[in-house]
Amino acid sequence: MISEAETDEYLTECLQILKEKFEGGNKSALLYAIYHRLLMKRPLPEWLRLEFLHAYEAHARFEIRSWNEVFGRPVPKGTHLEIEKRNAELRPLIMERVQALKAEGRPIDKSLFEKIGRGLCPPLKGTTVSELYYDERSRELREMTYSLDTSENS
């Protein structure tokens, strides 16, 4: 089980990354930061509270035409929704299968991803499974899985 201290440490690290992304121009990082804090029932830090209020007040003053101006587009242009939906569904399953095979002593390599890919419905190429596993959007799942691994082995 992950302790409250480990959870807070992880959230602090995530929040710092999201703050840097937001300050770098990634508007959607603001929503992700709020989401993570609320999901874990933690209060918003002052910078996040102020940025959200600023965005909302810009709306109230009719300074924006769309929430996309404040938070960015929810789905970037050119995104293939069916593929992204499939990938979102497969990420946790792939993480779970990688961990199970790793626990059996298998190295995380090309043959492991090919084995997992053959077992999916519909089957996927090992390179696709590998790309999903190492994709930035899978980073959080990998870190949580790794964190669970190390806390169980402690």
pLDDT band at 105 (very low <50, low <70, confident <90, very high): very high
pLDDT value for 125:
96
pLDDT tens profile 111-153: 999 999 999 988 999 999 999 999 887 877 777 666 555 544 4
pLDDT value for 153:
47
pLDDT tens profile 22-70: 999 999 999 999 999 998 899 999 999 999 999 999 999 999 999 998 8
pLDDT value for 149:
55
Q: Could you tell me which residue, 20 or 154, shows the higher pLDDT?
A: 20
d(CA 39, CA 76): 24
**Mean per-residue pLDDT, 67-74:** 88
d(CA 91, CA 141): 8
pLDDT value for 140:
72
pLDDT value for 146:
61
Are 129 and 116 in contact by the 8 Å Cβ rule? The answer is yes
Are 1 and 151 in contact by the 8 Å Cβ rule? The answer is yes
Neighbour-count burial for 20-32, b at 16+ CB within 10 Å, e otherwise: ebbeeeebbbbbb
